[in-house]
Amino acid sequence: MSSWTLHQAAKVSEQVRYSGSGDERKALVNLRLLLQHFGYATKLDDITTSIVDEYVLKLKVAGNKPATINKKLAILKGVYTDAMRRDGCTKRPHIPSLKVTATRLRFLSVEEEDALIEWCCTENELAVCEVFIVLMDTGMRVSELFRVIPADVDLRQNIISVWKTKADKPRSVPMTDRVHQIVGRRIRRRNLNGSVFSNVHRGHMEYVWDCARNDLGMKGDEHWVLHMLRHTCASRLVQQGVDLYVVQKILGHKSISETEKYAHLANPQLRDAIAKLEAVNSGPIGVGARDAHVGARPG
């Protein structure tokens, strides 16, 4: 049996694994990066564990974080899985999975949201502002939002149907009052054949986001990215006591483990514990007592 080339295997994975899926665009980008690194004509059986290790090192040097590297390696694993099922190769090198440490979950505070909306209004970016609000209130991914057409919106049931998702499972997303107003107004005002948000170009939206980031003093905040609007929706749902399983369904997470990273935001037991601790305290420490314990301020 002759081993397939990486190009042959990538073509198969593109068709059987990623075509029509919610993450097709990103998957194709990563497939192209694999081909560029390992070589289109490279035989699958010729890629050794050492060669994969060199690829991982290259990604690290380029500044890729462990979670990003794991996503790229998952593409390579998928290529080998699809090929082996079709006798396209006889062996697979060891493809590692890097340890991912928990990162800060960044979401908008109410004050930051108000500042962002006010900035958009001042800069006359009302259409983009509507996109930001809908992303924040629905938790939809940017790609999902721009695929919404009028037929996907049920104003009477107050839901948006998201058909093409990263998890490959359609879901219904409830609308807040302001999302209902924005979407309803757009559908009634315009004769739309395409996306409800067809008058907003994604590139321009990203440009506006970056401008707002700079003007609002968030240039140094590496977590100030568009995806934080999705985090904002999930965080607010959890903080308001919505069950994690329900949050999972609204956000469209493949696994409940993805949703559980927000769990610490809603922990009434911790608040109850502090309340009980406060109950046994004798009272607030006065200035004199404070100085006696921590030392009087000099001068």
DSSP string, the chain: -PPPBHHHHHHHHIIIIITTSTTHHHHHHHHHHHHHHH-TT-BGGG--HHHHHHHHHHHHHTT--HHHHHHHHHHHHHHHHHHHTTTS-S-------------------HHHHHHHHHHHHHTT-HHHHHHHHHHHHH---HHHHTT--GGGEETTTTEEEE-S-TTS--EEEE--HHHHHHHHHHHHHS--SS-TTTTS-HHHHHHHHHHHHHHTT-TT-TT-STTHHHHHHHHHHHHTT--HHHHHHHHT-SSHHHHGGGGGG--HHHHHHHHHHHHHS-SPPPHHHHHHHH-PPP-
Residue 187 CB burial class (10 angstroms; 0-12, 13-18, ≥19): middle
Give the torsion through C-alpha atoms of 140, 143, 149, 153, to 10 deg: -10
CATH number of the domain to which 139 belongs: 1.10.443.10
Q: How confident is the model at residue 284 (pLDDT cuts 50, 70, 90)?
A: low
Residues 133 and 254 occupy one common structural domain: yes
pLDDT band at 164 (very low <50, low <70, confident <90, very high): confident
Q: Are residues 219 and 147 in the same domain?
A: yes
Q: Shortest CA distance to 31 belongs to which of 94, 23, 169, 90? A: 23
- The radius of gyration computed from the CA coordinates of the chain, to the nearest angstrom, equals 25
Placement of tokens 């934080």 in the chain: 228
Same domain, 261 and 197: yes
250: domain range?
110-265
89 within a domain of the structure (yes/no): no
Q: What's 194-226 look like in SS3?
A: CCCCCCCCHHHHHHHHHHHHHHCCCCCCCCCCC
- Whether residue 285 lies inside any domain: the answer is no
| Co-location of 115 and 69 in the same domain | no
pLDDT number for residue 297? 43
How far is Cα 291 from Cα 285, in angstroms, rounded to an integer?
Answer: 10
171: β partners: 162
CA-CA distance, 268 to 29, in Å (whole number)? 43
Q: How confident is the model at residue 1 (pLDDT cuts 50, 70, 90)?
A: low
143 lies in the same domain as 217: yes
Q: Evaluate whether residue 299 is within a structural domain.
A: no
Q: What is the pLDDT of residue 271?
A: 65
Residues 138 and 246 in one domain: yes
How many domains are contained in the chain?
A: 2
Closest residue by Cα to residue 75 from 14, 163, 160: 14
pTM: 0.68
Domain co-membership, 116 together with 44: no
pLDDT tens readout for residues 190-234: 655 678 998 899 999 999 999 999 999 998 888 899 999 999 999
Among 77, 67, 73, 81, smallest CA distance to 55 is for 73
Confidence of residue 283 (pLDDT cuts 50, 70, 90): low
User: Whole-number mean pLDDT of the chain?
Assistant: 87
Contact 70, 60 (CB under 8 A): no
Is residue 95 assigned to a domain?
A: no
Answer yes or no: is 73 within a domain. Answer: yes
Cβ atoms of residues 148 and 134 within 8 Å: no
Mean pLDDT, residues 9-33: 87
